[in-house]
Chain A
Amino acid sequence: MFKKQEAGGDFKDVETVIGPSVKVKGNFNSKGNIIVEGAMEGSLKTGGNVFAGDQSKITANIDAGEVCINGDVNGNIKTKGYLKVGSTAKITGDIECKSLIVQEGAVLNGKCQMTTPDKEGSKNKEE
């Protein structure tokens, strides 16, 4: 889904867009996909996915399905799926994810914990 968003301007699958001119403060709870291009302080929790652009400045703990970070994050990141850390990303905080992609140039300061696939998932794979 992020390929579309990286091309810019496609809001079809996205519920919330925090633009570059916007500053959000507080506890942000959502069910859908979120694009962050601006500033965010507090906490960010969604059942969907999070894409943070290279100009984004997030001072918050993130809890989401899949996460792609290209900007600054000060806080812990927890994902149910993968975490992609882009070359322009700067993360200060602990991360917890199922799978991890880190591009060359990314800065990552914090503990990293990989969650194991759940039993049902592994059963399905065996089948």
Chain B
Amino acid sequence: MHVYIYDDFVNGKKHDATRDKLETRITDLGLSGKIIRLGIMKDTFSAVKQEIQRGAKTIIAVGNNKIVNQTLNSILHSEKNNANLNIPLGIIPVGEKNNEIAHSLGINSIEEACDVISARRIKSLDVGKIISGQEGAQKEKYFLSQIKIPSKKTIIEIDKNFSIENLKKGFFSIINLPTEENTFDSKSSPQDGILELLIATSKEKRLLKNKSFNIESIFPFKNITVNSDSQELEINNEYKIKTPFGVSVLKNKINIIVGKGRRF
């Protein structure tokens, strides 16, 4: 059975027409399933866990990057006790912003997303894992595309062989899946078992008062440890993680339904 997880914002009046269009299309293609609308009373993790226990065959995140990341984390945490499940994740992008993950997977519109789910082209992709806390009480978070870490007073140790320090203002970016947001000319792929650390430094334009960044350094890696003078570091401007923490790659960890026009 297909389970559609609608992000909170998708349930708003603004997206009434979008929902109608989507639901008509999935009915036409014979992809109907259960719709779960997230809200104050229902969070992604408990909804996904419950549906996996009930035997969901495909879980589809409907919304933007935020719900894709939440659903990915929920599937992987739920599968911890049963690694053989391999439930495929589908994506239906809604809204005009923050849909870089869907676009990278070759899914650019709701119509295209429905066709992609119908074609069911499944690929196993690598996932980045953030692990923090002391042994026995470790917390894990997963990411599909990238994470950004402020580089001020931060030292990164790669594969326990060497350390990297950025001496200018900027940020570290760890890439698994290349998107339009983190475009750079590289061989980066979510199927190579390697993550890439990019170091960007700011170049301030005084007249226009806007900042832009130059990617000046690239390091491929499998394991890093992030150390900082700060007790916590903000990741992607979304959540904080206590330092030190590790980032590693999990090869072929998640099955994702992808489109023909994907970037890898």
Residues of A within 8 A of B (CB): 9-12, 14-29, 32, 37-38, 42
The size of the chain B interface, using a CB distance under 8 A, is 20
Across the interface, B216 reaches (CB within 8 A) one of A15, A22, A26, namely A22
Smallest Cβ distance from B218 to chain A, in angstroms? 5
Beyond A9-B185, A16-B220, A19-B216: 14 further Cβ-contacts under 8 Å?
Answer: A15-B218, A17-B218, A18-B217, A19-B199, A19-B201, A19-B217, A21-B168, A21-B170, A21-B199, A22-B167, A22-B217, A24-B164, A25-B163, A28-B161
Q: In the complex, what residues of B have CB within 8 A of residue A27's CB?
A: 161-162
Is B111 in the interface zone, CB < 8 Å from A? no
Known contacts A24-B163, A26-B163; decide if A10 and B185 are in contact (CB<8 Å): yes
Q: How far is the CA of A22 from the CA of B162 in the complex (A)?
A: 13
Q: In the complex, what residues of B have CB within 8 A of residue A32's CB?
A: 220
Q: Are B218 and A21 in contact (CB under 8 A)?
A: no
* A contact patch SS: strand
Q: Are A24 and B162 in contact (CB under 8 A)?
A: yes
Smallest Cβ distance from A1 to chain B, in angstroms? 15
Q: How far is the CA of A9 from the CA of B218 in the complex (A)?
A: 12
* B contact patch SS: strand
Q: Are A11 and B185 in contact (CB under 8 A)?
A: yes
Can you report 5 residue pairs joining A to B where beta carbons are below 8 Å apart?
Answer: A17-B218, A21-B166, A26-B163, A27-B162, A29-B161
Residues 152-170 of chain B: 1 if any A CB is under 8 Å from the residue's CB, otherwise 0? Answer: 0000000001111111101
Q: In the complex, what residues of B have CB within 8 A of residue A25's CB?
A: 162-163, 165
- Across the interface, name the chain B residue whose C-beta is closest to A39: B167
Smallest Cβ distance from A29 to chain B, in angstroms? 6
- Across the interface, name the chain B residue whose C-beta is closest to A22: B217
Residues 119-135 of chain B: 1 if any A CB is under 8 Å from the residue's CB, otherwise 0? Answer: 00000000000000000
Q: How far is the CA of A32 from the CA of B187 in the complex (A)?
A: 12
Q: In the complex, what residues of A have CB within 8 A of residue B264's CB?
A: none
Q: In the complex, what residues of B have CB within 8 A of residue A42's CB?
A: 162
Q: Are B166 and A15 in contact (CB under 8 A)?
A: no
Known contacts A10-B185, A11-B184, A12-B185; decide if A23 and B218 are in contact (CB<8 Å): no
Q: In the complex, what residues of B have CB within 8 A of residue A38's CB?
A: 217
Smallest Cβ distance from B85 to chain A, in angstroms? 35
Q: How far is the CA of A25 from the CA of B160 in the complex (A)?
A: 11
